[in-house]
Amino acid sequence: MPASRPVLLLFRLKPSTLAVLAARFRLLDLHASPLPVDDFLAAAAADDDPPHVAVVPGSGVVRVDAAFFDAVPSLRLVVTVSAGLNHVDLPECARRGVAVANAAGIYSADVADYAVGLLVDVLRGVSAGDRLLRRRGASLLPLGSSRLGGKRVGIIGLGSIGSATARRLEAFGCVVSYHSRRQKRDVSYRYHPTVLDLAACSDALVVACALTAETRHIVDRPVLDALGSGGVVVNVARGANVDEAELVRALAEGRLAGAGLEVFEDEPNVPAELLGMDNVVLTHHQAVFTPESMADLDRLVVDNLEAFFAGAPLLTPVVFSDWS
């Protein structure tokens, strides 16, 4: 069975998951090859039974674009292990008749938990208090931390992650509103047609939208200024959704109260100015990494591959028009 079902594997999997895939499919594994990426893709394309499926990471490490498909023209499906698709050229996929499957809602609960955790940390100074205690043997911060309950929280992007975050914030007694490309008719949260309007009516902004040409730097200086000097920004989407240089300036100049960031524009690099700010909580793009979500992801990758080779519908197909 595996011999007739070749899969181009560009994502490093756990040994246990790799064993499951190897038992079902014939893997052309980049991480098991001594070849550089370009040579590896050329070898895969020249294989007697070239791959029809590629499993790719969820970042810019591998850009799925025209050059990628030119290198391996046999591909008919791309499975990405992320929910976001900013590294996948969807119009090119559509033009070539290549289907795409993503991680869809696999990470939503964990990222929503993380978003709320970052917001609580920034407001209450949890990490700052921990650092102070370790340095000085005392944990008393200057008065100024603030409770989450009752805060007006605006969510940018009310997809699966944004919706899960909203439900958690409701439990804290927050007043939730949102901005997205289209108003959601099945929710009671107040909709704002622009991010500027949302920021002006919020004490905190949670960025949970996809990264597209339209949402790049969707949080810019005017939005930060509308949020105001008491405002907080939490970003669990993509670094480039926020104009990082303007965010740094707003924090340094006291035009923003704080930020919780797990993504950055130039990952893994973090602006040096942020490292010394006690009102900023920084982590490295790790919200999705729980044992539970990784196990769910492993099953989803296998099930999408099985569906493709069986000629059945994919479990998490990307509808190109939803991302245009």
Together in a domain, 70 and 116: no
Count the domains in the chain.
Answer: 2
Please indicate, yes or no, whether residues 305 and 179 belong to a single structural domain of this protein: no
Q: Quick one: pLDDT at residue 236?
A: 97
Token duo for residue 235: 């970003």
Is 238 annotated in the active site? yes
9 has a pLDDT exceeding 60:
yes
Q: Are residues 122 and 48 in the same domain?
A: no
pLDDT score of 260: 98
- Joined together, the tokens standing for residue 233 give 């920004």
In this prediction, residue 130 carries a pLDDT of 86
Q: How confident is the model at residue 243 (pLDDT cuts 50, 70, 90)?
A: very high
- Is a pLDDT exceeding 80 seen at residue 145? no
Choice between 142 and 196, residue whose per-residue pLDDT is larger: 196
- Say if residue 42 is in the same domain as residue 189: no
Residue 267 annotated to the active site: yes
Please tell me the predicted confidence (pLDDT) of residue 12.
86
Q: What is the DSSP letter of 64?
A: B
**Residue type present at position 173:** G
Question: Do 264 and 315 sit in the same domain of this protein?
Answer: no
In 3D space, the residue among 265, 254, 259, 203 whose CA is nearest the CA of residue 235 turns out to be 259
Per-residue pLDDT, 258: 97
170, 267, 273, 306: the catalytic one is 267
Residue 300 CA to residue 101 CA, distance in Å, equals 10
Catalytic residue among 238, 246, 262, 265: 238
Residues 154 and 197 grouped into a single domain: yes
Determine the average pLDDT of the residues in 79-94: 92
Q: Are residues 172 and 234 in the same domain?
A: yes
For position 90, which CATH number holds? Answer: 3.40.50.720
Q: What is the DSSP string of 306-324?
A: HHHHHTPPPSSB--GGGG-
Token pair, residue 317, equals: 């197909």
Beta-strand ranges (E) seen in 2-109 are 6-9, 26-29, 53-56, 77-80, 99-101
Picking from 46, 2, 5, the residue whose alpha carbon sits closest to that of residue 22 is: 2
- What DSSP assignment string belongs to 210-272? ---TTTTT-B-HHHHHHH-TT-EEEE-S-GGGB-HHHHHHHHHTTSS-EEEES--TTTT---H
Q: Which domain holds residue 195?
A: 108-282
Together in a domain, 158 and 63:
no
CA distance 8 to 40: 10
Q: In whole angstroms, give the CA distance from residue 304 to residue 312.
A: 9
Same domain? For 97 and 112 the reply is: no
Residue pLDDT, tens place only, 177-186: 999 999 999 9
Mean pLDDT of 105-133: 93
| 140 and 276 belong to one structural domain | yes
Question: Do 170 and 258 belong to one domain?
Answer: yes
CB-side exposure of 158: number of CA atoms within 13 Å?
Answer: 25
**Statement to judge: residues 68 and 191 lie in one domain:** no
